[in-house]
Chain A
Amino acid sequence: GAGVSQSPSNKVTEKGKDVELRCDPISGHTALYWYRQRLGQGLEFLIYFQGNSAPDKSGLPSDRFSAERTGESVSTLTIQRTQQEDSAVYLCASSSGAWNTEAFFGQGTRLTVV
């Protein structure tokens, strides 16, 4: 596609429910990243993929968080039993995977847990 696409753009969910956030990277990009941005704060690294593999899952905050990528394309970030502290903007980015290339970001999914 022309850019990184994330859906939904906004999600309001009740505490305790599960949510799935989707990211469609730029076609051909092998690297895909998930970050969390709480209101007024910086980018918190969650997980990244090279192809369908995740070399580093160290940023996932708890076992309620999981992510997968299939077909070296779409990725889904799943949050189970959501808590209010999960409220944030979840950003996805993709790149060609080369060490000196830029990452392109989606517009993010704003998650609000009520």
Chain B
Amino acid sequence: GNSVTQMEGPVTLSEEAFLTINCTYTATGYPSLFWYVQYPGEGLQLLLKATKADDKGSNKGFEATYRKETTSFHLEKGSVQVSDSAVYFCALSKLFQGAQKLVFGQGTRLTINP
């Protein structure tokens, strides 16, 4: 079946550190891939997405590249800020019985210390 696996958290970094959160997926065909973010006390919101192989999604300094050969969509940021502290969810979207099914990973809690 379709599934998403994220690196286990929590992840704690100092401000200005380089960030990588790993995400791999299992799916037949060509799903769309997403990163969602949940800031403290807020609802989930889309951070970035990529809809085909080798596409790079980017937003707010974050980037992720759709790698079909390694079935991965790792999230990266060159220099994190305290305001990036949140829970990050990797997700895939695939047509299932004619409808879009959205499957999430378990989430990775990120804490950035000043």
Contacts and interface: CB of A to CB of B under 8 A. Distances in A.
Interface of A: 31, 33, 35, 40-43, 45, 48-50, 53, 55-56, 91, 93, 95, 97-103, 105-108
Given A91-B44, A106-B43, A107-B43, A99 B103 contact: no
Contacts of A40: 109
Given A31-B100, A102-B49, 20 more contacts: A35-B104, A41-B106, A42-B104, A43-B104, A43-B106, A45-B104, A48-B102, A50-B98, A55-B97, A56-B97, A91-B43, A93-B44, A93-B102, A97-B100, A98-B100, A99-B32, A102-B34, A103-B102, A105-B43, A108-B43
Given A100-B93, A106-B43, A42 B107 contact: yes
Contacts of B99: 31, 48-50, 53, 55, 97
Q: Bin the interface of chain B by size.
A: 20 to 34
A107 B39 CA distance: 12
Main secondary structure of the interface of B (DSSP, over half): strand
A45 B94 CA distance: 14
Contacts, number: 67
Contacts of B89: 42-43
Nearest to B47: A102
A31 B106 CA distance: 22
Contacts of A35: 104
B100 A95 contact: yes
6 contacts: A31-B99, A45-B103, A48-B99, A55-B101, A99-B32, A99-B94
B61 to A, nearest CB: 19
A96 B89 CA distance: 20
B9 to A, nearest CB: 10
A42 B95 contact: no
Interface in B60-114: 89, 93-107, 109
B51 interface: yes
Contacts of B107: 41-43
Nearest to A107: B43
Contacts of A93: 44, 102
